[in-house]
Structure 1
Amino acid sequence: MEKYIGDSLAAGLIRPSSSLVGADFFFVTKTDQSLRPCIDYQGLNDITIKNKYPLPLTDPAFEPLQKAKVFTKLDLRNAYHLVRIREGDEWKTAFNTPLGHFEYLVMLFGLTNAPAVFQAMVNDVLRDMLNKFLFVYLDDILIFSQSQEEHVQHVRQVLQRLLENKLYVKAEKCEFHVTSVSFLGFIIERGQVKADPAKIQAVADWPRPTTCKQLQRFLGFANFYHRFIRNYSKVAAPLTKLTSVKAPFAWSPEAETAFLALKELFNSAPVLRHPDPSLQFVVEVDASDTGIGAVLSQRSPKDQKLHPCAFLSRRLSPAERNYDIGNRELLAVVVALQEWRHWLEGAALPFIVWTDHKNLAYLRSAKRLNSRQARWALFLDRFVFTLTYRPGSRNAKPDALSRQADPEMPGTEPETILPASRVVAAENWRIEALVKQAQRSQPDPGNGPPNWLFVPDSTRSQVLQWAHSSKISCHPGYQRTLDFLRRKFWWPSKARDTRVFVAACSVCAHGKSSHQPPAGLLHPLPVPSRPWSHIALDFVTGLPTSEGNDTILTIDRFSKSVHFVPLPKLPSSLETAKLLVTHVFRLHGIPQDLVSDRGPQFASQVWQAFCQALGASVSLSSGYHPQSNGQTEQANQQLEAALRCVAARHPVSWCTFLPSIEHAHNSLTCAATGMSPFMAAYGFQPPLFPSQEGRWRSRQYRTTCAAAGGFGLRLVQPCYGQRLETNTWRTATDSLPWFTLLVRRLGCLPETCLLRESRESWPHDLLDLLKWTESSILWR
């Protein structure tokens, strides 16, 4: 320590400190038997804002190594000391030693943001070389090339760049021009990556853990190499269970068997090949009741055998376990392609997917898909592959990966020591001990009822699970679950959390009958027969002040035309009526129907009397249900999006952009009508180049004045008006067949609708639905 302090003072790395804080100082032994100073900065790190600069991922980084033959590994000397601590912040790094109180002038190990800061610095220095022939992970640098001549130039470029930036390497830890190199715990050779034998030997010699902490340390080390172990999750499952805080640590025969099997698997771990983009990929997938598994392979041109490139294995979530076998198998395909998308999407050759579920072979030719399958099919369309059936007897690799340890399998439950009459007491003790253990990190605030146990955030879901779903409660309703919790437990949001938990319980949803009234059926608003006969109104508020204005929105439900009128404030009912007369009625005539929300302007007697005097009906949407006035809400979103785009640099001047946005909206094609609102309302499109309109005008429209006047008359022509009404009605009724089938078959409705219709006028079974749909709705 005395030598380190003296050398650091002489080198200008530290200085005596008068800081009011101080951390503990100690040494740890490095791999070369030298000592590395370490300081316990846990208190400082806890209050430090974290730097989110990402460290590089090893899996994507190893992809460019597929054709590399020559490697050089460099290690930067005293890397962190090359970064200066900001002047004025040195006192935060103060540390205590028997020789005195000191503080650092340079960055050191132990600071939470040190890795991110150093990675960002090295990336900036070597950015133009990264992923071309260079990979950098903190102070470890790997240079790779396809030939010796090329490698000499690459090494020279890297060393020259480091020298220019005063970054120096430690010669005794460097390896130059080798064909096999140990890097980040892996052995990298030509076209291969495998586990480091030194690390594997460490696993083989690992003594049996005697505490939960020792077991967690072993599993953390072993999990680093799980990509090399087929069915790793299944083998390690008995050991993983022992790390749970719900049960005491007790080494069992199953754990001993898993511990020895895991060590043996590491000794015989297979070699993973680097994926070669020029070769065809093979994806083998399978799904079981508890998990999914997949293997990515390529066939070697030399021996024509499949060699593994990567393994995938994960458990199914509770919701995914409810899928039928077909959906689980399809989920395995989707998850595998998502995991290896960077290799499979845009592959040089169409890849093959092997599955033991024969129905998946007809996925792309299926006529009917549910919403989940349709979403997955849309994702699969991005890939070029062949889905091939393979019997389960020949699909053993992914099948083994998918067979994760099932927590409900017989033989995995601990033996019952207490008699059955005392099981309830044992359950209570376990949840109580779990809550008390969590209170160490989040103690009782002391403002709760006396004699009640405060439940920290980390254990509330487990307490709710125990109170609602355990054998002593058997899924009661909300009130009885809450009363049960009130016997012992307390936390501020207990009532709200209990209501949400009980409402989301899938077991209750399947096993209990519903007492809710029957849901209504979806019924779209009627399609108008002419422009501006049915209009919708809404206000857009909350915008930054622009000449003191808010905005009123008016939309024609037939042509989808809009008017945006800037206003100094939210108008009253009388002011709204005057605005309609000024900006709508004088241009388009008096409408038949006015749709709006239940704002005070539209629910007042003044507004009702105004519409009654006009002879127009009033349609108010359901409270807190903007979907009822969907066209206006969509126009709101388009207006706000346009304002964000065109007025981003000058938000206070949005008012000046409203005419341009209105013109753009009215002149662009609308998907619902198949034409622009301008065309639907006036029968012609606004010219793009008015000065050249005479030269480009179509011959059929310049022959006679009658033909020119035909622009305004086209709307009333049967073929034109019918086409516009047909397009609008088709869009409005697109969702009716599946929505009605959902309500009829499942008896549920996703959300409350504005309008309801009696069930007697709707079809009563699937056959009647199809017949009624073909005759009453334009079916697509």
Structure 2
Amino acid sequence: MDFSWKEARQLFPNELHDFVDECYSPARLAKITDADIEKFMKGKPERTADDVLKKLPIWLRDLYDVFLPKLADKLPPQRSWDHKIELLTGKEPPYQKTRPMNPQELKVIRKWLDDNLAKGFIRESRARCAAPLLLAAKPGGGVRICQDYRGLNNITIKNRYPLPLIRETLDALCNAKVYTKLDIIAAFNKIRIAEGDIWKTAFITRFGLFETLVMPFGLCNAPATFQNYINHTLFDLLDKFCTAYLDDILIYSTDKKQHREHVREVATRLRDAGLQIDIDKCEFETTRTKYLGLIVTPGGVEMDPDKVSTILNWEPPTALRDLQRFLGFANFYRRFIRDFSKITRPLNDLLKKSTIWSWEVEHQTAFDQLKAAFSVAPVLALYDYNRKTVLETDASDWASGGVLSQYDDEGVLRPVAYFSSKHSAQECNYEIYDKELLAIIKALEEWRPELQGTQEPFEVITDHKNLEYFTTTKALNQRQVRWSEFLSGFNFRIVYRPGTKAVRPDALSRKPEDQPKRADTNDDRIKNRQRTILPEHIFDPEALAELTREVNGEFDLAAAPIDVIMPAMDKPIDELVDRAYENSEMAQDMLTALRDASTHRRWPKKWRKELRVAMADCSVIGNRIYYREKLFIPPNDQELKTQVIYPSVFISRVYCLHGTPDNVISDRGSQFISEFWRQLSDRLGVRLRHSSAFHPETDGQTERINAGIEQYLRALMNFHQDDWVDWLPLAEFAANNVTSETTGVSPFFANYGFHPKLGTEPTKPLPPNQSAAQRREFLKANNIADRFERIITQLKALATQAARRYEENANLNREDAPQYAEGQEVYSTLKQMDES
């Protein structure tokens, strides 16, 4: 694909110096044809004053001189705007040799030198540095000549003067009905190089060494210098009825009469500034124009059909750089593409440093899908600060989305822009309330320039009803407090709309490609997620067939259609429980599924009650199958010296509550390998399993749990670390309420069939007419309750973090165990064998 300098400035305004690398690569230089050279040698036909007058509107002909191309060949005077080239300390511009060229290319160079020497734009040089010349074909035919200043740019102090944001520029056009577009002839050449820096621009050719007196294309700070100059020239007119992006100027008005006055004002300013307008690239009094790579109309903004055609004809990338170019170009139009982040996710994954380049089927599918999305992109309305605004947001477990819309003159709600974003691994752990609020936060961050400081409140539409009361809720967690501070800068009103009516934001947040793949075990977002799958045993054949057609991957009970779930309830619930007793795997899945189903509002009330009864029965099955409850027992120093403490603790804390276990796993401590303990275990029917000296992993679960308990206690103990025994029951309680990824439930729930009540009730106001003693007791009780709630919250967070970290560390260097056949000879270490 070919870019002109103007297109490069529009699409990659912050990467102009990198653009030279791409635009003038050896492959690019080879594109120059004989036809291009012939067109260059002929030159542009000279336009006389009569030619200019014929193309100008009558109402602008008295300003014809600003459109005369011959005046653009004059050397501009020295001014305070002269371009300075400041180098890094101790650096010198490099000297590079000239590059070989064929006779035809040398003719082009000779003509270019003659033309610019005649205009006084260049002169011979004796500088100690030199940059080579480069030739490239223009998109419309002809040859472009540019100095290769990459070496000079690398040691130049960058000018950070900002270029206009295209988004802000478009916002200024919201009420315009008529447009005029102007283009400045050789705009950069209308700025002189500062007197002391001219030698730094030296360039080498077959015909000698030259330096330029005017600002050339290719210098890294040239765009910033010219933008500064044009902003100064049109300063009091900008964003009133004109905008200037480098040498592209757009004048906009609400009616033709006013528009002509505006155009004349701008043309006069340009003439006074010594800038000539290219009559061949102007458009006067039009209602549709191409500006900054977009098509602007009174009805909104749309993509340039030429650029869309380029996307549709783009060949699949064969290397990383090709993919970067494609995504860089496509990203310019992302506000037009619904689900842009979803579509490009497989392609963006290829850009990661840790990923080896391999173009697979999923990448080709995403590539084709993005091209197809470009062919059906909508016309977006221009944002109008005076129109009623609506922000629609929605969040799923994995992503959030938003649509910014405004009502037009006919009362039709039209989209202004789309936004979607995947949740991070941490955000996926938020509760649904915080996820829905996060969707609002992200959308407001994306469109903060448009929405902050509005006079009239805009509507934020969500399908989560509880968010309606967020602004009046007094009890906020720390995260919500931070968000509340951010939201205070916006004038908005939250409006509830049922999810069945929230089509547009739902499509952006509930995207299959944003959800983790079933086989993608490295996706952090699926860790600690509870499975909600009803086993196929409890569905009749028709319902199961329906699920097979509808679901690809894991089945989410909460999101399933009600008519799909109903057939499963035709069988008596007692029969299901009886079958669960016979099938341990089924009991586990039923316990998880029924627990979620029993509280879901989409089920009829009488069904929820029956499900809760069934869940209680299943929890008994779960007790028989899954037992991982953690017991933390602190013996004192005296008890450690005896062997009696272990059987006594075993009887009081294990046997009396849970019965006799089948196995007891321990290390080889003297208490656990004593004859006393072995004889007692034999009588109780308990099998002892001890870890070996060179395989401590046998008791690895105990070691991991102890390490986790240390983390809990470290967060709770006092400075002297002598009160850990007091905190041990709370640490045990927190550890037993962490959801297991294997079972989908916590140890507490697996044993008792219900979740314990956590946290505290909100603080009640102090009753009136209380004595001082009563007030002290009231405050003391509330302080204890507040502290208790903070401790439980902190312990739950630590438990979740510990579980995730242990899993990651365990899988880091884990390898598959070797497979041996019966009778196969193997090596065995003799280190621990008795030599006798």
Could you tell me the TM-score, scaled by structure 1's length? 0.54
Give SS of 2:240's match.
coil
Match of residue 675 from structure 2: none
TM-superposed CA distance for 1:214, in Å, is: 1.7
Match of residue 331 from structure 1: 438
Gaps of 5+ in 1: 415-507, 523-733, 751-780
Match of residue 245 from structure 1: 353
Give SS of 1:272's match.
coil
How many Å separate the matches in 1 of 2:430 and 2:165?
Answer: 33
1:604-656: CA deviations, max 9, x gaps? xxxxxxxxxxxxxxxxxxxxxxxxxxxxxxxxxxxxxxxxxxxxxxxxxxxxx
Gaps of 5+ in 2: 1-108, 523-703, 720-781, 799-836
Match of residue 82 from structure 1: 190
1:196 paired with 2:304, answer yes
Residue 509 to residue 77, structure 1, CA distance change in 2 (3 Å): farther
1:152 paired with 2:152, answer no
1:63-115: CA deviations, max 9, x gaps? 12111111111111111111111112222222222222222222111111111
Match of residue 163 from structure 2: 55
Q: How does 1:431-510 map to 2 (within 5 A)?
A: none
Match of residue 742 from structure 1: 790
1:169-196: CA deviations, max 9, x gaps? 1111111111110001100011411111
How many Å separate the matches in 1 of 2:233 and 2:162?
Answer: 16
For 2:391, give the aligned amino acid.
V
1:374 paired with 2:481, answer yes
Match of residue 280 from structure 2: 172
Give SS of 1:220's match.
helix
1:317 paired with 2:424, answer yes
1:230 paired with 2:318, answer no
1:453-507: CA deviations, max 9, x gaps? xxxxxxxxxxxxxxxxxxxxxxxxxxxxxxxxxxxxxxxxxxxxxxxxxxxxxxx
For 2:147, give the aligned amino acid.
I
How many Å separate the matches in 2 of 1:119 and 1:214?
Answer: 30
> Which residue, out of 514, 520, 524, partners 2:710?
514
1:552-590: CA deviations, max 9, x gaps? xxxxxxxxxxxxxxxxxxxxxxxxxxxxxxxxxxxxxxx
Match of residue 471 from structure 1: none
How many Å separate the matches in 2 of 1:136 and 1:289?
Answer: 44
How many Å separate the matches in 1 of 2:115 and 2:784?
Answer: 80
Q: How does 1:328-727 map to 2 (within 5 A)?
A: 328-403=435-510, 405-406=513-514, 408-410=516-518, 512-515=708-711, 517=714, 519=716
Match of residue 276 from structure 1: 384
Match of residue 314 from structure 2: 206
How many Å separate the matches in 1 of 2:338 and 2:406?
Answer: 17
Residue 98 to residue 138, structure 1, CA distance change in 2 (3 Å): same
Residue 403 to residue 213, structure 1, CA distance change in 2 (3 Å): farther
Match of residue 22 from structure 1: 130
How many Å separate the matches in 2 of 1:192 and 1:740?
Answer: 57
Contact conserved, 1:187 with 1:194, CA < 8 A, in 2? yes
How many Å separate the matches in 1 of 2:360 and 2:796?
Answer: 49
TM-superposed CA distance for 1:42, in Å, is: 1.8
More strand by share: 1
How many Å separate the matches in 1 of 2:708 and 2:279?
Answer: 72
Give SS of 1:273's match.
coil
Contact conserved, 1:68 with 1:191, CA < 8 A, in 2? no
> Which residue, out of 223, 230, 234, partners 1:126?
234
Give SS of 1:122's match.
helix
How many Å separate the matches in 1 of 2:208 and 2:409?
Answer: 67
How many Å separate the matches in 2 of 1:511 and 1:278?
Answer: 60
1:258 paired with 2:258, answer no
How many Å separate the matches in 2 of 1:277 and 1:308?
Answer: 14
Residue 225 to residue 736, structure 1, CA distance change in 2 (3 Å): farther
How many Å separate the matches in 1 of 2:489 and 2:452?
Answer: 7
Give SS of 2:394's match.
strand
Residue 70 to residue 95, structure 1, CA distance change in 2 (3 Å): same
How many Å separate the matches in 1 of 2:482 and 2:359?
Answer: 46
Residue 365 to residue 84, structure 1, CA distance change in 2 (3 Å): same
Residue 313 to residue 8, structure 1, CA distance change in 2 (3 Å): same
Residue 749 to residue 186, structure 1, CA distance change in 2 (3 Å): closer
Contact conserved, 1:65 with 1:191, CA < 8 A, in 2? no
How many Å separate the matches in 2 of 1:165 and 1:145?
Answer: 23
Residue 41 to residue 321, structure 1, CA distance change in 2 (3 Å): farther
For 1:512, give the aligned amino acid.
G
TM-superposed CA distance for 1:25, in Å, is: 1.1
Give SS of 1:67's match.
coil
TM-superposed CA distance for 1:511, in Å, is: 8.7
Give SS of 1:512's match.
helix
Q: CA RMSD in A?
A: 3.1
Residue 739 to residue 177, structure 1, CA distance change in 2 (3 Å): farther
Give SS of 1:141's match.
strand
Match of residue 295 from structure 2: 187
Residue 42 to residue 247, structure 1, CA distance change in 2 (3 Å): same
1:398-435: CA deviations, max 9, x gaps? 22323464484136799xxxxxxxxxxxxxxxxxxxxx
Task: Count the aligned residue pairs.
Answer: 447
Contact conserved, 2:342 with 2:514, CA < 8 A, in 1? no
Give SS of 2:461's match.
strand
1:142 paired with 2:190, answer no
Give SS of 2:467's match.
helix
Match of residue 69 from structure 1: 177
TM-superposed CA distance for 1:298, in Å, is: 1.8
Residue 374 to residue 245, structure 1, CA distance change in 2 (3 Å): closer
Bigger mean CA deviation after superposition, 247-256 or 65-74: 247-256
How many Å separate the matches in 1 of 2:464 and 2:138?
Answer: 53
How many Å separate the matches in 1 of 2:196 and 2:220?
Answer: 19
> Which residue, out of 194, 197, 203, partners 1:95?
203
TM-superposed CA distance for 1:367, in Å, is: 2.7
Give SS of 1:62's match.
helix
Give SS of 1:50's match.
coil
Residue 509 to residue 207, structure 1, CA distance change in 2 (3 Å): farther
For 1:5, give the aligned amino acid.
L
Residue 195 to residue 749, structure 1, CA distance change in 2 (3 Å): closer
Contact conserved, 2:422 with 2:514, CA < 8 A, in 1? no
